[in-house]
Amino acid sequence: MIVLDQENRVFTLHTQNTTYQMKADRHNVLLHTYYGPRLAGGDLSYLIRYADRACAPNPAEAGLDRTYSLDTLPQEYSTCGVGDFRLPSLELELPGGSCSADLRYVRCELRGGKYALEGLPAFHGSRADAETLVITLEDAAAQAEVELYYGVFEGYDLITRAVRVVNRGGQALRLRRCDSLCLDLLRSDLDLITFDGCHMMERAPDRAPLRSGVQGVGSARGTSSHQHNPFVILCDRDANEDYGLCYGAALLYSGSFQALAEGSQYDNTRLVMGINPLQFCWTLEPGQSFTAPEGALVCSPSGLGQLSRQLHRAIRERLIRDPYEGKRRPVLINNWEATYFDFDADKLVDFAKTAAPLGIELLVMDDGWFGKRNDDNSGLGDWVVNEEKLPGGLEALVPRIQELGMSFGIWIEPEMVSEDSQLYREHPDWALHIPGRSPARGRNQLVLDFSRPEVRQHVYGQIKAVLSSAGISYVKWDMNRSLSDVWSAALPPQRQGEVCHRYVLGVYEMLEQMRRDFPHILIEGCAGGGGRFDAGMLYYTPQIWCSDNTDAIDRLRIQYGTSFCYPVSAVGAHVSTSPNEENGRLTPLETRGTVAMAGTFGYELDPRKVSPQEQELMKEQAAFFKEHYDLIQRGDYYRLSDPFAGGPYTAWEQVSADRREALVSLVSTSLRAAPPFQTLRLKGLDPALTYQVNGGEAYPGDVLMSAGFPLPLLRGDYQSMQLYLRAI
């Protein structure tokens, strides 16, 4: 609910459990007054106090009032170059060469429903569940307007942010920085949690107290990256899963980003988040506008667990556009780790003949089906079926798979090109490269310039022909390197700072075109695994391959960190072979299945090479996942332990919306002689209901949550167990 007090120029955004407020003050500066647990209302600007602070400049409008300084006030969208020396949200390069931004309130507008962003991902909502507030600020000297968009989803405790800059003058402006959100808080006794790592060990939580100065994370790789995720949390220093005030901020963007928090000299905090200003500079001609990516804010007064569940529900229901909406996605098997490039049509059919009786419903043909692609050194860019491997093309292969009762999917990597390809030989200028320099290679491939429409159209035309040739129901869209040598032959020198952002917009455009042309196809995102696991991609790809690391024990940590923002239904997770191909770890098939069920669930192994006993277990796993699909994929998610804490086990729980069902999963992670007895306290149950566990003993919900469930002694490395609870 949005409440406008036009007389006092106070703007209050209420969600079910939180309140967010701004006020345009006597000098038309838009101040941030409050964000936290829901309040009845009123003007909260009394919380802002004024004093004569040395070395804090005063704007001209303040006259002789030395207590009024932009450098000390909590601003809704921070400025630069005119007296505020903290982190800026906006930096304009004016025709004369100066860099500044000085914003004043002009007007506001209330709209029903949720705003949309052309060419960019955004949460979506109708008049029934969302409202939009647009506040317009003006920089009179620059002759620029800045429109701040707020989408309020009351039932989800979600507030979205977006920014549009319009050049109202007669000369060109250059945007040096344009952040998507700014949050000024009148306190600094907070922790900052970021989610960091590397390829194959992504999104590990990193928690540290805010200190004086700037700290944060970002990516300059042209992708959101394996190294840092565009999601951060600010929280009370004593906040845990069940207690404390927490703020989550996510950026719906799949390119280079930056998220920075500054503890100011007077113990305030400013968080800014948006496109990384490194290698970014956007020219705005007269009358033109620029729209920054959407940011999303969620506040939980009740701990980190509730923050995550709020985000999960909002992402599932108001961001992801799923062709399987209301239906179950298929259990899949991918041939990559089973065959790599060494496959042909008969081998794939034989593969499917073994998989289908196990309850596996979708065969995904990974890299190597196109061009002259027999290794990772050639063929990218030539999206034509290799008929030496697949005689008669997909038109001949897919019906053979379908006759076995399975659907069919393929792998693509459309953003990349091999130098050994027909495409590169014909159009070498279509790859990103810096004139006079030999380009760096990643996985022995170059990056196509997706900022150029003709490049996208050519690549998409080939892929569209392939997707139209047979009954394909799934596409894995991969991207296996970061952007380097960023320079486009299609842009003049003064606009080269636009290439990286135009590249991301090009990726989004092609994904949206694919969704329109093939609405039945489920697209799974991937970037060397989890290198582009962000809320922006989830708008186009309902699930993302979580990590190239399929080891179940490593995945406990990867999926734990991922769960702070992203729902189970978005997390691509498969059962792979043991010993694991990356680290050689031996893990029971039962445990690998348990861990993969904390995601979309599938297999990444050769079913022909497992024992009959393991095949039977795979059949049982697939059947169990299908039976409890809604609970696993759409249930409320509870973290019951922290795998980074070094405890004896990692446990998590999914609870149905009506709290009549729950699934508890546990994996032992350390083994010792003479172990102590362990008791696991559950969460999210109805204390008034009684739950039967795995069809046996029954326990009251309050007992399971307060006293706990006695765990058996698990023997052997990396054992697992699952408890299915049903109210009786």
Residue 672 pLDDT? 86
Backbone angles phi, psi at 30, to 5 degrees: -85, 110
3-class DSSP assignment, residue 665: strand
663-684 pLDDT, tens digit each? 999 999 988 888 899 999 999 9
Residue 281 pLDDT? 98
Helix, strand, coil shares of the chain, percent, nearest 5, are: 20, 30, 45
Cα 576 from chain centre: 24
Q: What is the DSSP string of 303-330?
A: -HHHHHHHHHHHHHHHT---TTTTSPPP
Cα 357 from chain centre: 35
**Where are the CATH 2.70.98.60 domain residues in the chain?**
2-318
Contact assessment for residue 242 and residue 302, using Cβ atoms and an 8 Å cutoff: yes
Cα 27 from chain centre: 38
Q: Is the bond into 579 cis (omega within 30 degrees of 0)?
A: yes
Burial per residue of 583-619, b for 16 or more beta-carbon CB atoms within 10 angstroms, e otherwise = eeeebbbbbbbbbbbbbbbbbbbbbeebeeebbebbe
Residue matched to tokens 């991937």:
526
614 noted as active-site residue? yes
Cβ neighbours for 566, distance < 8 A, ≥ 6 positions apart: 311, 312, 315, 533, 535, 538
Residue 524: HSE in the Cβ half-sphere, 13 Å Cα cutoff = 30
Q: What is the 3-state secondary structure (H, E, C) of 507-576?
A: HHHHHHHHHHHCCCCEEEECECCECCCCHHHHCCCCEEECCCCCCHHHHHHHHHHHCCCCCHHHEECCEE
Write the DSSP symbol of residue 428.
G
Catalytic residue, from 25, 581, 614, 717: name it: 614
What CATH architecture is 2-318?
Answer: Distorted Sandwich (2.70)
Contact assessment for residue 181 and residue 249, using Cβ atoms and an 8 Å cutoff: yes
Tell how strand 575-576 and strand 602-604 pair up: parallel
Selected from 2.60.40.1180, 3.30.565.10, 1.10.287.130, 3.40.1670.10, the CATH number assigned to the domain covering 639-727 reads 2.60.40.1180
Contact assessment for residue 724 and residue 694, using Cβ atoms and an 8 Å cutoff: yes
Catalytic residue, from 71, 84, 138, 534: name it: 534
How far is the C-alpha of 250 from the C-alpha of 294, rounded, in Å?
Answer: 9
Enclosing H/E stretch for 150: strand 144-153
Residue 671 pLDDT? 85
Contact assessment for residue 102 and residue 82, using Cβ atoms and an 8 Å cutoff: yes
Question: Which residues of the chain fall below pLDDT 70?
Answer: none
Q: What is the pTM of this model?
A: 0.97
Residue 397 pLDDT? 98
